[in-house]
Structures are given as structure tokens and as C-alpha cells.
Structure 1
Amino acid sequence: MTKQVKSKQRVADHGEVFTAEREVKSMCDLVKTETERIDSRFLEPACGDGNFLAEILSRKLAVVKKKYKKFPMDYEKYSVLAVSSLYGVDILQDNCEACRERLYRMWDKEYKAVCKKEVSEDCRRSVRFILSRNIVCGNALSLMRVDENQQDTEEPIVFSEWAFVTGYQLQRSDYTFARLMQGDDEARDLFGKKKRKKREEQMTLFDDAEPAEKPSDEGEFLKKYVTHYRRVWKNEQ
């Protein structure tokens, strides 16, 4: 069980208190269906070392295993999709590093158990790369990156959307979110996106941004790549 407090000094300096496991499970149960949908995206704006994200990943991987354990390549693909659906921000670098490593180890343990001799080092590199993009050290209030003193920099937080487009081709689209929390007071979902009633009108976290003359709350679109999911780490530049 993860400790709720790492040190009194961290509590005093950053108000850092981690949510207990029982509460994490209970809160995730409130959106149980979504936590068990492989491609459902979650963002934890103060993720710490990943208590909520680890619980959600555990649930998603259990679904992937149930559906695809007899088909190693399919298990691999959809387990990558499960990892790619989780996002976190924390103002402390050590928490971000611990969260990435925690999620990676969870994924890798299940990956080895299911795929055995068919595991791929390239796939492992891709998962590590995806986590490096999805778990960001920054200020969730200002949506800016922070320096070693937890002070805002001039660099905005950038997230990547990951989506399978055809077969094993994974599309990465990068967006900034400086405008994410701006706008009117309409009801918003977990990612701060406006909710709409009709399914065909619903907006996703990463809807393509409108042209520059029409700013949108989705954030500024930066760039897009498409490649085999085992090679996404090659786009690190």
C-alpha cells in the first residue's frame, strides 16, 4: 500500500497528501464502466506517483487480458492503447518519474505474462516513450511546464493523442492546452471539455483544432505523425 505522506516537509511545501487506496477504488467505481473501456481517456491533474492512474490501468489491462490473452499480437496492441489513454500532470519531477515507472512496470509485468517469448523490445520502448509524453511535470492550474523550483516556465504543457488509424498504425497528434480551462461555464467532462447531448456532436479531448482564425478550447494543434505502434519512439525528435 502506498503511503499517503512522503514527508512532513513535502506536505508543508506542496500540500502533498496521496489519496488512500480504498478511496481511490471507491472513486473509480463511480465511473466503473469508463475505467474498464480500453480507449477511454483519463487525466489526473495532480497525479503524484500515480495512485488513480495505476488503478485505472489495472482495470483496463484486466479487460485486455480477458479479451485477447489467446492472441499475443492483439493483446500487445490493445495493452499499448490502454497505456496511451492515461494522462497525468504533477508539479514535482520525482513524482512524474515515479508515476511513469510505476505504470510501465505494471504494464510490462502483464505483457510478459501474456506474450511470453513474443515480447518485443521495440514495443517496450514505445510504451516508455508514450508515458514520457503522457505524464508531464507542470502546473495543472496554469498549464505550463515548471522548472526545478516548481516555478512556471514559458513552455506550455503539450499532450499527445494516440489513436489507431488502420491495423497497427498508431497516430500521434500533439496539442497545447493553454486555453483548456478558458471559455464559458457550460458543463465539462473530466478533461474540461464541453459536454453535449447528442452523441454525434460530442467533442473528444483531442478534436482537431479549428484554423487559426477560429480559436478553440481544445488547444492549439502542433503536429501529427503516423507510424507502426512499435516505432513511435523514433519520433522522439
Structure 2
Amino acid sequence: MAKKQIKSKQRVADYGEVYTNDREVKAMCDLVKDETERIDSRFLEPACGNGNFLAEILTRKLGVCKRKYKRSPLDYEKYSVLAASSIYGVDILQDNVLDCRRRMFTIWDKQYKAVCKSMCNEQTKEAVKFIFSRNIVCGNALTLMTVDENGNDTDIPIVFSEWALITDSQMQRSDYTFEQLLKEQEPDKDEQLSLVSDTPSDEGIFLKKYITHYRRVQKNG
């Protein structure tokens, strides 16, 4: 049975919300197949809904982690966290954002339990939940401003966190605001799947940097 593409006619009228079918999601991801299978390749979905594209990308990345590191639970854990940290989404509707975060964590957690079994770590799970809370945000992708409960822009810009493993276990989080970038450049409104630049310092305003063990990134809330 095909999944429903709309939640309500009112949401379509108000927000143009129509979910993309799995077949189209897979076909579009296949256009950048090599990147979807590179663990640290960054993706941004500017109208992510409840995460159809992001879920597919995460599933592909975790599949690569499993093939490469299934014999080493600690390595799998580390690189699966890195895979989770490379995926970003924005949506103007809060229920979509919350659904997307839950969906992404469920996908990650199911695979984590399957590979790591008794070696699963609760801190790591909390770290991944935190990463998704930072990477999947409620906002307006055209202005890169956060929105209120009615979907109206606030005066607070969206902040994205760039994550990178800098040692065997230390993860660096660098926070940037991209407000100025989108004020200066007209976004491609037809583009639904895009890569975040690997050099965000050239594209946004740097805010703060944190370095900690990848299992404890949530300590720097």
C-alpha cells in the first residue's frame, strides 16, 4: 500500500505540503549515490517534512557503516554517530520536525542494537538524540530564521552545527548562523536535496566551538 502523500488539504493549501513517494526518493538519491554512501558527506533537506529523504540517506550511510565496521562494535558506533551528524533538515511545521527526529533516531537505534548488541551504550544514544535535535530544526528555509508555533518567522536565526571527528574519539562541534548567506543569495526554490558545504566558515557567521568525546556531545547543550 502506498504511503499517504498529504496529511490534510488544509496543510497543502497553507504550506504546499506534499510528501514524496519512496520510489521518487530512492531515484533522486541514486542521482548522488556515491555521496549518499560516503559516511561524512553532508546533506541538507530544506523542506524535510517528516524525513523521507533524510531517512533514506541515513539508511544508506548506516549500511556502509555496517559493511565496513560490523566486526568492530566500537568502530561501528563511532562512525554511525558521524553518519547521523552529517544529515540536516529544516521544516516550518513543528510536528514534522518532531516526527522526523524520532524517525531518524529509530532508524539509527535499530541498526545500532543489531550491530553492537550488548555493547550498546546509553550515553551514545543520548548523544545521537542530541545531534538530531541540533541538525533537524523548525524554521523557514528561505530566510533561515526560526519560526513560532504558527510558522511565522521570529528574529532568531537558525543555527547549524558542523560535526567532525578530530581524533579517534573526540568530536568537534562548530556552530554557525547562515542568516547572512541567504539574505545575500537567492535560494533555488526548486531544489529539494542539497549538500551543505564542507567549508561553512566561508558561508556563515561562526558562533562557538566545542570539543568532547562523541558519546558526550550532549553535555555541551
> TM-score normalised to the size of structure 1?
0.87
Structure 1 stretches of 4+ moved >4 Å: 182-185
Q: Distance in 2 between matches of 1:192 and 1:117?
A: 35
Unaligned 5+ runs, structure 2: none
Instruction: Report how far residue 2 of structure 1 moved.
Output: 3.7
Q: Distance in 1 between matches of 2:3 and 2:220?
A: 34
Instruction: Report how far residue 7 of structure 1 moved.
Output: 1.2
For residues 26-37 of structure 1, the aligned pairs below 5 Å read 26-37=27-38
| CA RMSD after TM alignment | 1.7
Partner of 2:111: 110
Asked if 1:231 is matched to 2:216, the reply is: yes
Q: Distance in 2 between matches of 1:191 and 1:24?
A: 16
8 Å CA contact retained: 1:61, 1:79: yes
Q: Deviations over 1:106-136 (max 9, x none)?
A: 0000000000000000000000000000000
Unaligned 5+ runs, structure 1: 194-203, 209-215
User: What letter corresponds to residue 131 of structure 1 in structure 2?
Assistant: F
For residues 157-236 of structure 1, the aligned pairs below 5 Å read 157-183=158-184, 190-191=194-195, 204-206=198-200, 208=201, 216=202, 218-236=203-221
> In proportion to residue count, which structure has more helix?
2
Partner of 1:21: 22
User: What letter corresponds to residue 232 of structure 1 in structure 2?
Assistant: V
Moved more, 1-10 or 138-147: 1-10
8 Å CA contact retained: 1:180, 1:192: no
Q: Distance in 1 between matches of 2:47 and 2:19?
A: 10
For residues 10-159 of structure 1, the aligned pairs below 5 Å read 10-159=11-160
Secondary structure at the aligned position of 2:79 is classed as helix
> TM-score normalised to the size of structure 2?
0.93
Quick check: which has more Rg, 1 or 2? 1
The change in CA–CA distance for 1:191 and 1:114 in structure 2 (over 3 A counts) is: closer
Partner of 1:200: none
Higher relative contact order (CA 8 A, sep 6+): 2
User: What letter corresponds to residue 14 of structure 1 in structure 2?
Assistant: Y
The change in CA–CA distance for 1:179 and 1:2 in structure 2 (over 3 A counts) is: farther
Q: Distance in 2 between matches of 1:231 and 1:184?
A: 36
Instruction: Report how far residue 167 of structure 1 moved.
Output: 1.0
Q: Distance in 2 between matches of 1:36 and 1:133?
A: 22
